[in-house]
Amino acid sequence: MKLFHLSDLHLGKRLNEFSLLEDQAYILTEILALVESERPDGVIIAGDIYDKSVPSAEAVQMFDKFLCALAARKTAVFAVSGNHDSAERIAFGGQLMAESGVYVSPVYGGTVAPITLHDAFGAVNVYLLPFVKPASVRRYFPEKEIASASDAVRAAVEQMRIDTTQRNLLVAHQFVTGAARSESEEISVGGADNVDAAVFDGFDYVALGHIHGPQSIGRESLRYCGTPLKYSFSESGHVKSVTVAELGEKGDVHVRTLPLRPLRDLREIRGSYMEVTAKQFYDGTPTEDYLRVTLTDEEDVPNALGKLRVIYPNLMELKYDNRRTRTAAQIDAAQGVETRAPGELFAEFYEKQNNRPMSAEQAEFAAKLIESIWEGEA
């Protein structure tokens, strides 16, 4: 059985106030061309379909067009909601869409029933787990201690009671400990969103979303496919792709990637003003790529942004790197963000901003507020 693994489409996203709708429509067309040539049995979309919980009409129409194109090709779709999505909006019409082979995760309600497919080697059970937090799972398992994201996902997986003699596939949108992050992802400090990879041991393939760089965690078949487009300059070196997972008989899983070429690349250019306006940088004609330019001139260039946009119309960011910027006063970034407790990080930030530590009353208030935000109650 051959499956395409996608995630984090973030339809409707704006980057530095530039709309990416045209780029997203183009890359979805490229993916459909790969579907046409590869003929997968199904397409997985592992969360963050939209960039906002209330997406724009244009983003919804784009996704609708994509689903209709897949359904017309008799290609099954397996989609879950991510942390950027509204689980309720993604689930709307799910039962009707299932009749066309488009399966979407319902709002988590304590159970996850499999969608069972068949091929020459027997059954493949596909489980759709939407993005969950401890609070959204704890209510269904009052007898369990669920204090972390790992506890929540473990409880949800244990409830599935998978038959390990059959082939089982999980689609989920969580942060698995050890994954390499990008700047465009939402980060929870203190490791609050970490999920232990061992939670997924019973699955033959785990199609993950949430992390924007393609990577496998621990084993080839526990995988983030990454975004189809670059969504931050920290991703400028990524090679975006579609992950293809091919399941043979039990225990036989092969993973490969198909590269994706965007309508416009996301790149960085560095040098003096004279260097970045030289012909070798842009081949004599304006480039449509999205760019961040770092100028190394010691003196600011008057109207540099406007002048550079004549050559680079999609210049998103302009920075300077010189003696002035390197010696500018700033608060250093906190170290160990992913391993330190949120309260500890906030206390450090408060002290740097105010030149004095928080009082006991302030620390207690901050701790309660952090807890309510994490549980989605604020």
Q: For residue range 119-178, list pLDDT tens digits in order.
A: 999 999 999 999 999 999 999 999 999 999 999 999 999 999 999 999 999 999 999 987
Q: Which residue has the tokens 């604020």?
A: 378
Q: How far apart are CA 138 and CA 144, in angstroms?
A: 8
- Residue 378, pLDDT score: 46
| Amino acid occupying residue 153 | V
35-40 long-range contacts, CB within 8 A, separation 24+: 35/4, 35/70, 35/73, 35/75, 36/73, 38/2, 38/4, 38/244, 38/258, 39/2, 40/2, 40/3, 40/4, 40/75, 40/244
Close Cβ partners of 368 (under 8 Å, ≥ 6 residues apart): none
Q: Would you say residue 373 has pLDDT above 70?
A: yes
Judged by DSSP in three states, 116 sits in: strand
Q: In sequence order, what are the residues at sequence separation of 6 or more whose Cβ sits closer than 8 angstroms to the Cβ of residue 124?
A: 1, 116, 117, 118, 166, 167, 168, 169, 247
> 258 by DSSP, 3-state: which?
strand
Which candidate, 68, 93, 170, 187, places its Cα nearest to that of 126?
A: 170
pLDDT of residue 328: 63
- CA gap 259, 239 in Å, rounded: 7
Residue 330 has pLDDT above 60, yes or no: no
Place of tokens 């019973």: 202
* 2: pLDDT strictly greater than 80: yes
CA torsion sign for 333, 337, 342, 345 is negative
Residue type at 204? D
Q: Give 95's DSSP letter.
A: H
Q: Shortest CA distance to 170 belongs to which of 137, 140, 209, 122?
A: 209
pLDDT score of 176: 93
Which pLDDT tens digit goes with each residue over 215-268?
A: 999 999 999 999 999 999 999 999 999 999 999 999 999 999 999 999 999 999
Q: Which helix (H) or strand (E) holds 78?
A: strand 76-80
Task: Report the relative pairing of strands 241-247 and 253-259 from DSSP bridges.
Answer: antiparallel
Tell whether the torsion through CA atoms of 143, 146, 151 and 154 is positive or negative. Answer: positive
What confidence score (pLDDT) does residue 254 get?
97
- The torsion region of residue 62 among left (phi > 0), alpha (psi -120 to 50) and beta comes to alpha
Beta-bridge partner residues of 172: 208
- Report d(CA 100, CA 245) in Å as an integer: 22
pTM, rounded to two decimals: 0.83
Quickly count: other Cβ atoms within 10 Å of residue 324's Cβ: 11
Instruction: Give whole-number Cα distances, 146 to 152, 241, 296, 338, in Å.
Output: 6, 35, 51, 20
- B/e letters for 34-72, b = 16+ CB within 10 Å, e = fewer, are bbeeeebbbbbbbbbbbbeeebbeebbebbeebbebbbe
29-42 pLDDT, tens digit per residue, is: 999 999 999 999 99
Of 190, 197, 158, the closest CA to residue 174 belongs to 197
- Predicted confidence band of residue 73 (pLDDT cuts 50, 70, 90): very high
